[in-house]
Amino acid sequence: MASKAAYKRLNREYATISANPPPYISAHPSEANILEWHYVLTGPPQTAYEGGQYWGTLVFPHDYPFAPPAIRMHTPSGRFRPSERLCLSISDFHPKSFNPAWEVSTILLGVQSFMTSEEMTTGSVSASEGERKALAARTRWWNSTGGGSTDRRLPGQQAAGSNRRGFGAIKGGDGGKKFKEQWPELDEENWKWMEEQKIDPQTGKSLVQTSCAPEMEGLRKRVGGSAAAGLGAVVDGGAEGQGFVRRNAMYIALGVLFAYVLVMRVVKEQ
């Protein structure tokens, strides 16, 4: 339960950030708990995250602003492990370094700045620019379908089995329920976008394509350090995405060597 000081401070900050939101940032507290804030970062132009819709949470302690919040980003980004607490100087990993003068907007600008850097910390992962761009293109689908765990279909789409497990879904996927509860207008926009682009809600792929787009091939390889519910689970990852030759390189090399030795023996016997 929030202290009186925290309640008063967070209400004031909500009024401020609503009236003057920082560039590419939206945020609001949960109706049920003022200590739980939901934010959406829009990927800034000229970055690997351009146009992406990155949803996360700030969970403040009862004695805020004298202690920092826990910071998480739920949407797979190629920068952070989904839903894992981030170790930043503005997060609850470093309470002694937190300045009570910092506000919600300061914290979110710090998250945005760290996201567009390459510095590593607890909760961050490494990925190529191509992988991050491919994930950015799927963020709206991921947020509104719970990573493909939704039962909802597009108008005229044939019935198919839903992806209950979800690709990169939060704890098995919720069909996009949590995102819709906090961001109903964005959720509606996302579904209109999926309908216009003919994106399959269960897979995130185009309904008019027969194979993956070229830019998605980079996602078939699990990004180092990602959790099972992270980048490697966002797409049909694993060994299927690797080529036959790459997976069997050792056996092929041994076969070639054996064939060479056999040929040389035949030549010598002649």
**212 among known catalytic residues:** no
Contact (CB, 8 A) for 42 and 56: no
Which one is catalytic: 59, 67, 70, 87? 87
Report helix, strand or coil for 36: strand
Contact (CB, 8 A) for 75 and 110: no
Q: What angle do CA 225, 88, 96 make, to 5 degrees?
A: 140
Rg (CA), the chain: 23
Q: Which of 60, 58, 62 is nearest to 26 (CA)?
A: 58
Which uninterrupted H or E stretch holds 13?
helix 4-19
Q: What angle do CA 125, 117, 16 make, to 5 degrees?
A: 105
Which residues is 80 bridged to in the sheet?
124
Contact (CB, 8 A) for 234 and 168: yes
The residues annotated with a catalytic role in the active site are 87
